[in-house]
Structures are given as structure tokens and as C-alpha cells.
Chains A and B, each alone.
Chain A
Amino acid sequence: MTTEAPAVPGTRTALALVPTADTPQTAKDFKSDQEVRWCPGCGDYAVLAAVQGFLPELGLAKENIVFISGIGCSSRFPYYLNTYGMHSIHGRAPTIATGLAASRRDLSVWVVTGDGDALSIGGNHLIHALRRNVNLKILLFNNRIYGLTKGQYSPTSETGKITKSTPMGSLDTPFNPVSVALGAEASFVARAVDSDRKQLTSVLRAAAEHHGSALVEIYQNCNIFNDGAFEVLKDKKQAEEAVIRLEHGKPIRFGAPLPVEEGGDGLGSKGVVRDPATGDLRVVDVAKEGTEGVLVHDAHAASPTTAFALSRLADPHTLHHTPVGVFRDVSRPTYEDQMAEQLERAVEQRGKGDLAALLAGNDTWTVAG
């Protein structure tokens, strides 16, 4: 087994213990020999291409990368990557990944899951993996529908969704995965859109570099059962008003830019401000209300309060005012580093385990032959 460097909780970077590749890699190195079998036009293709294109950047030995998935369309992902992989059972990928990451800190462990897998059947495991801060990168493909079972509503579907199982409309209030993750004490939470390769890649990069559990919600189009679910975020004209791009240290502005030639600052005409009366966030017209109160995004803020408020901005029906990017990225000790530290401390305090001494214990008697 690989020998591990001594752990000092919270002080190492995400991939410090993962061996690096000897030679430069390309996307081709990460393609497996299996034929990709998603429906033509599925958003999963774009995510797969982005991941295959981005992994070489990390420069990790590919034998030390593991992708673990649950059940659902997106969970076929590991078969198409030439790394170690496991296609497990419905909702349980975070548990398997936790056992693997906790016992093997020399691995870069990724979980691929969907809205049903992660938030319905596997909701319990998702929140506990996040609160423990296991060093897992969780890619949650959210298409707001059950695809593999052919079109029932999912826990992220908008209320009133007409599907095969809800001919008169669904009754449940949807989960907002970013809100769920922030509520579960996640140390890294981000959102991306499948078709925006550049933004998706930058979020994946930030997630990979984060030391601890990272949840990346990826809005992914199911062109068979829920086509166009995210069109408002993709159509260039509509997106200007709908998408809020979060960048750490930058004012939270979106909408059509205020032209410099007309005295504007070239940034979006809308801004996010905090309502002094309620503490909630709201969107204002910067031209009218000025830039003074516009929030500057702080992904590293110790408190998750503002990140949570940002996650609530989007209208679950229209997706208007949907922030994308990194909501939260804070450092706290990981589960497996602390576990390794306890093992090392136990050896320091009591010496390496001596089986003969353990079995004999302190209260023995002898029977002579």
C-alpha cells in the first residue's frame, strides 16, 4: 500500500498526497474503450467532454483517480472514463466513496450522481458526506426529471410538473441542491451549466483544488423527457437577465451592461443588495439605486448565510436570477485527515499494535501441561 505523508489537518492542499503523472496527458488518455450510450443530444455528453478535457490539467496519475456513481443516466459516467471506477447502487455512491477516500488518501475520488440519485433515494448519504467533509468531488447532474425510468418527476422538478406519474401535476416543493448542500455544512458548493464549457471547467478546477467535500450542481438538459428545462439560462438574450455569474471578490452584477459611453461602469445593469430590514437579498436596478449597496461576492466567508441567501434568489419555476459559479469555498479539516491523525496519535501514544499482547490482555492464568 502507498505510504502516506504525515497529516496536519487543514494544512495540505487537496491533491498533495495524490501521485502525479510522469508524462503530460490529453483528453484521449481519459477515454475508455466503451461506446457512449446516452441518448443523442443528451447534456451528459458535454459534461463528459468537459471532464475528459479538464482531467489532464490536474496532472494526476490516472490510476489514482476513481469515479464512483449510483444509478441513473448520469451514473453510467464511470464506464466512459479510463480511470478506476464503480457503478454502484441507487443513492449509495457517497457511502462507497467515503469508505474509499477515508482509507486511501492517495486517491482523487469523484462521485457522479443525479437529482434523483443524490436527493431522493440517496439524500441521507449526500448530506452526511458533506457535513463530514470527506475529500470527495460530487458532480450532481440535475435535469429535474427521472430519465432512466422514463420520465417521472424528480425531487428538483418544479411544483405542478405534469409527468407520467403526475398527470394532474406534482405536489412536492422541489429541493434546491445548492441550498441543501449549504444547509448540510458543505465546505464547497458551486453550480454550472452543461453547455457552458468554460464556466463548467473553471468550477471543476476549483472543486478539484478544494480540500474537502465539494458539491457541484450541473444543470443538464434531458432532451427526451425535460427538453429545454434550462433554456432560459442558455439562450443568449434571456441569459443576460436570468444568469448571475458569481466571482469571488467581484460585485454581484448582471443584466445588460451599463455602457461606459453613457457614463456607466460597463458592468451589469442589475445588482444584488441586502435588504436592511429583512436581511434577505434582492435584485435592484443599479442605474436607479446606485452601486453602493451591491454585494461583493465572498466565497470564503466563514458564515454560509449570504451564500444561502444567494441560493434562494432564483425563482424555482422560471429560473430567473440563477447564480452560477462558486457559492462557497471554505477550508476546514477533512474527515480522512483527522481519521489518519487519530491513527497516528494512537501509535505515538501506545506504540504500534502488538497482536500477541492484545490477545493475552491483563487477566490470564496458566494451565501447566
Chain B
Amino acid sequence: MTTEVDRTSRDKKDVRRLDRVIIRFAGDSGDGMQLTGDRFTSETASLGNDLSTLPNFPAEIRAPAGTLPGVSSFQVHFADHDILTPGDAPNVLVAMNPAALKANVPDLPPGAEIIVNTDEFNSRALAKVGYAGNPLEDGSLDAYHVHPVPLTTLTVEALKPFDLTRKEAGRSKNMFALGLLSWMYHRPTENTEAFLRAKFARRPEIAEANITAFRAGWNFGETTEDFAVSYEVAPAASAFPAGTYRNISGNLSLAYGLIAASVRADLPLFLGSYPITPASDVLHELSRHKNFGVRTFQAEDEIAGIGAALGASFGGSLGVTTTSGPGVALKSEAIGLAVSLELPLLIIDIQRGGPSTGLPTKTEQADLLQAMFGRNGEAPVPIVAPATPAECFDAALDAARIALTYRTPVFLLSDGYLANGSEPWRVPEVDELPDLRVQFATGPNVTLPDGGQAFHPYLRDPATLARPWAIPGTPGLEHRIGGIEKQDGTGNISYDPANHDHMVRTRQAKVDGVTVPDVVVDDPSGPPGEGARVLVLGWGSTYGPITAAVRRIRREGGRIAQTHLRNLNPFPANLGEVLRAYDKVLLPEMNLGQLALLLRAKYLVDVQSLTQVTGLPFKAEQLASAFKEALDDDH
């Protein structure tokens, strides 16, 4: 049954070269579409294509089978050149049932290929999603190239030698589909087989059944007339600088960035966290790396998560808490305490759709103002925001740099799109990473009028305004800190009006003084003021679609400048000057214009918002039209 076929012999069939392909796998949330997409992505990464992925799944773990709300999908875009987004419209849709077909067909361009599991197209399943007839027979899909494949039947047939029920065997249909797609796109198969053996190491018969289904899918493509053509997408070698690469998702690269920060700071990492979508994977990942001295504490609630992290920071750990928007709301008071205590702390917010519970599995950028202002009193907190999944690694290191250097809580704003999306990442050398080592206070820092020595916990470094970090266990530096206003220097409780005014301004000045790199404008037509007249500015995960749209405009001869903010508090020092150098500044955001509000307030520049809050990322095409309109108006 598991006879090897010669996977290099394709002489009977036509092989075509493509520069890029977008595939979307769609099925019930129990059909294993995320796993299928992940495996296809890994095969694609190991081939050296550039890629970008977009998982899209319902918040319900197992929504009712066969319904539209239960559809889970995974889109992967891969190319022989540098790409930036998971793509607007799939070239290929794999639909495991009528619901998956119905939910996804509107996104397909004419001529797209559709592979459907015909076994699921019975009258009951069709009726469940409101199909009056069978779309496979009524001509409604004539604009597409449809491959009807009885995926379940073929999988069950292939797994006959195994002692499995029809239902059990049918579960491997996703691996059959993966095998078929792997054949169509010449993907290497060894890693998937190794992966299945490792995943089901305790149940070898299940591993073998899945591998058999996978190979049967591959063979089906090879031997069936319906699949006359297969496609090659060459590696994207020229798109990447030399180096070692791997595929990485935003949450994984973020977790690695936190571990790297701990290693480079020579401080133990302590994560206090409460499970919440889409941040839980960071907790899961960090809990697997205890051999790095990483302590993960699954707390009783969001408040306890940040409280424990802050307690660990007081004791000399790199304290981190991970959450999403609703969790940030609960942590607000503790963030204010961290501002007052002036201790390092990382608050990682993987944003999702809001308000309230909102859209837990969908993406949004609507926590910016919450991060900026969501506390009582004047409580400034630096904010960093990665632009791509791979950049989450660098953002974690930068957030740690700011927290450790300035003794302050720092927000890192990722989002659901970055968290679950993936792309190739050049694996850095450890020596290239920033040195984050800190000096704990070791002795007295002040001489009293009587000649005695004392330790003042709020005596600041004049350059950074950071206070000393004196950890318990250090003799002679016993001191008390708290959330009540303190006298600058001594740290003693103080209700003195002038001191409070001074402390509020000092905490603000400390955050305003955080060193961040200048923004760099990308404009082939010239430097700010001399090239394009329209600037597109973005922050966070809109980087991919904005950049793809900017490229389209330029390909068509349009002149447009682009820049992207990684530091949102404080802003880069040259930002005002850059904004004022253009006639028009466009700002796409997945909110109702939160960064635009901040920029207008701070720089008095008439920034134009382009907003979308669908829970999905912008499409490049849609942004390109909006940019084009703005350019045309400008003439």
C-alpha cells in the first residue's frame, strides 16, 4: 500500500512555471485546515520560496459542523520573489464541504482553480448553507476551473489495510488533500512524513495511516487525468540577503525575542499570564523553554499575571505579561503601579477585534490609545509595534532595551494577524543581538549632610532619568517603594504639591527622552521635500499590504513615499519634519484613526485616515486604489 512512487517522473504531464501562487485551504473547524496549511507552508519554506500566510478561524473550538460560521481557512502566498502579504485573492481554493465553498467563492478571481470534496456535497449539507441546487452541477461555478474529487472516499479506500472505522479513516482526508497539493506544486514531502511520525509517535498506526493518505493524495495527482498540469515556483533566492532562514510566525518570533532578551540581559525571564486568544501561544511556547531558566506562571486572572511579573521584576527578573485588549483593561491599575515604581516590565498586547470580547480570533489595531492613555493619572508608557511576524523578534528586544535602560513598563503592540501569520526569517547570530546587560545598585548613592552614607531609591541617572534598580538581597539598600507619590530622590511618601508636579513631569520627561531611531522614508523619486508629494505612513501589521500597494503604484509610474513607525511612544525625533515635508499624508489603520489622532494633535498635520475594522487585514488592491485616488486628487 505504501509503495514508493518515483516522484521525479512527470514526463507524462505538463509542468508550468509560475512566479507566485495563492492557495486557500478551507473546511470545517474540525477538518484540520490549519494543520494542513501549516504543513504546506513548511514544505514551501524549506523549498526557499518567499511566503506569507493568513490563518482565519472562528472563535468557537468546534462550531456546528457544515455551517458557514464554522468554516476555518488557511491562506498561503508563495513566490519566487519578495512578497509582502498573504495575497488578496486565491488562485486555488481547496473546499472540504459546501460551507467552505460558499464562504470563500466570493474571494476568487475568474479562472481560479477549485478543488472540492464531492463526498460532502449531499442535499442535506447543501441545504444547511442555503444552496438551492448543487453548485457543482448548476453551472454557477463556470467561471472557475473545478476539480471534483471524492476526497473522503479516496482516503477511506487508501486506508483499507488499516484497522480503522470509516469515520476514523475519513479524518485523514486533509492529508490526502495536502498530498495532492504537494504534487501540484512540486513541494518536498520528506519533512511532512517526518512530522507525522513525530506528531503521532505514541500511535505509530495513526502516523502510518496519515502518511498513507498523504502519499495517496500525491499519487492521485500523478495518475489522474483531471490533474493534467503541475506547477513549479522557483526558490526566491535573489529576494533574500545571504543567510540561514526559517519560517516563523509572529507569536513564535515574539517568544524567541523574549528569551533572547533574557539571555542578552543575563536576567531570568518571568512570564505572568492568563490564557487569552490570540496571545496564549506565547505562554505555551515560553513554558517549553524552562532550560533557559524561563519561569512561566499561569495566573488566576489577568491582574495576577501582571502582578506576579512586577513582583519578579522587583526581585531582578525580566518580568513580562502577555495578553490581548480585554486583559490590558484589567491590568491597567498594575501598569500604573509599574509607572510609579519605575521598574522594568514588558506588557505584550496581541490586539484583537474589540470592544469588550469583540472578535477574539480576528485582527485589529484599536488598542493604541488604550496603551497610550488607558490609566488613571499621567502615566506615560513607551510603545513599540512590530510590522511583520519576523519583526516581533526585534520588537521584543527593543521593548526590553527600553524597559531595562529606563526602568519603565513598556507596551509591545502586536496583533492577531502578525501573531498567527508567518514569513521567512533570517536567523540572526547571537552576537549580532544587542547587549542588554544592566547594573543593579550595589551600594549607597548619596552622602548625607552629617557625612553618613545612604541609599536613595529615586536618585536618577541624569542622562536617562532612570532610578537605580536595587534588588532585595542587597545589603544596606533596604528601601520601600509604592504607588503613593514619592519624594524624588529619597522615595519617601510625599504629598507636597511642588514635588508631585515635579514627579509627574519627570516621569513624562523620562519617557519622552527614550532614544528611538529616526523614521526612514522610502521614496525612489527623492528625499523628503524633493520627491513624491504624497507620503503613506503606517504602523504595525499594515506594513505588508501598504508596501504591496505602494509597489503597485510605483510600477504604474506613480510617485509615492512610504514610511512605517516602529516606535509609537515616544515618536521618532524627525517625524514632525518628515510629515511636514509632504503635501498629503495618508495613514491606513485597522481602527477609526487612532494614530492619526495622535499625529494631528502632536504635529498639527492634516493626516488623512484610511480605516478598516473588519477583523481582517487590508488588501493591497484596496489600498492601491485609495492611494491612487489621493495621488490623482493631488494633481
Contact = CB atoms under 8 A, between A and B. Distances in A.
Given A1-B268, A124-B300, A128-B300, A102 B312 contact: yes
A308 B131 CA distance: 63
B291 A352 contact: yes
Given A64-B473, A360-B246, A79 B480 contact: yes
Interface string B301-325: 1011111111111111101000000
7 contacts: A34-B492, A95-B303, A100-B314, A125-B307, A128-B300, A351-B291, A359-B428
A16 interface: no
A122 to B, nearest CB: 9
Given A98-B311, A102-B295, A361-B246, A355 B474 contact: no
B489 interface: no
B523 interface: no
Contacts of A367: 48, 237, 240-243, 245
Nearest to A356: B430
Interface stretch (B87-95, B99-107, B256-264, B549-557): B256-264
Interface string A53-97: 000000001111110100000000011001111111100101111
A108 to B, nearest CB: 10
A366 B243 contact: yes
B259 A358 contact: yes
B307 A99 contact: yes
Interface in B230-262: 237, 240-247, 256, 259-260
Contacts of A125: 300, 303-304, 307
B337 A353 contact: no
Most-contacted residue by chain A among B260, B270, B314, B492 (CB, 10 A): B314
B283 to A, nearest CB: 15
Given A95-B307, A365-B48, A84 B475 contact: no
A343 B295 contact: yes
A353 B259 contact: yes
A363 B42 CA distance: 8
Contacts of B308: 95-96, 98-99, 102
Interface residues of B, number: 73
A350 B42 contact: no
A352 B309 CA distance: 23
A369 interface: yes
Q: 5 closest A-B pairs (Cβ-Cβ)? A: A95-B307, A87-B482, A99-B311, A369-B242, A99-B308
Contact of A99 (B48, B272, B300): B272
Interface string A95-114: 11111111110110000000
Interface in B134-184: none
Given A34-B492, A86-B481, A360-B427, A355 B311 contact: no
B580 to A, nearest CB: 40
Contacts of B315: 99-100, 103-104, 107
A364 B304 contact: no
A346 interface: yes
B358 interface: no
Most-contacted residue by chain B among A19, A68, A92, A343 (CB, 10 A): A92
Nearest to B293: A343
Given A88-B483, A345-B290, A363-B45, 11 more contacts: A64-B473, A85-B478, A85-B479, A87-B484, A88-B307, A92-B304, A95-B299, A96-B308, A103-B295, A103-B315, A368-B242
A64 B300 contact: no
Contact of B270 (A62, A103, A355): A103
B469 to A, nearest CB: 12
B396 to A, nearest CB: 12
Contact of B291 (A89, A350, A361): A350
Most-contacted residue by chain A among B242, B309, B472 (CB, 10 A): B472
B46 interface: yes
Given A88-B482, A103-B315, A107-B315, A353 B242 contact: no
B400 to A, nearest CB: 14
A49 interface: no
A281 B315 CA distance: 45
Nearest to A19: B473
Contacts of B472: 63-66, 84, 100, 104, 107
A368 B245 CA distance: 11
A95 B299 CA distance: 8
A189 B270 CA distance: 29
A314 to B, nearest CB: 29
A63 B430 contact: no
Interface in A311-369: 339, 342-343, 345-347, 349-353, 355-356, 358-361, 363-369
A89 B483 contact: yes
A238 B341 CA distance: 47
B476 interface: yes
B429 interface: yes
A95 B330 CA distance: 14
Contacts of A64: 472-473
A346 B191 contact: no
Contacts of B291: 343, 346-347, 349-353
A32 interface: yes
A2 interface: yes
B477 interface: yes
Contacts of B475: 61, 63
A315 to B, nearest CB: 32
A104 B481 CA distance: 18
B373 interface: no
B445 to A, nearest CB: 16
A56 to B, nearest CB: 15
B228 interface: no
A365 B304 contact: no
Contacts of A102: 270, 295, 297, 308, 312
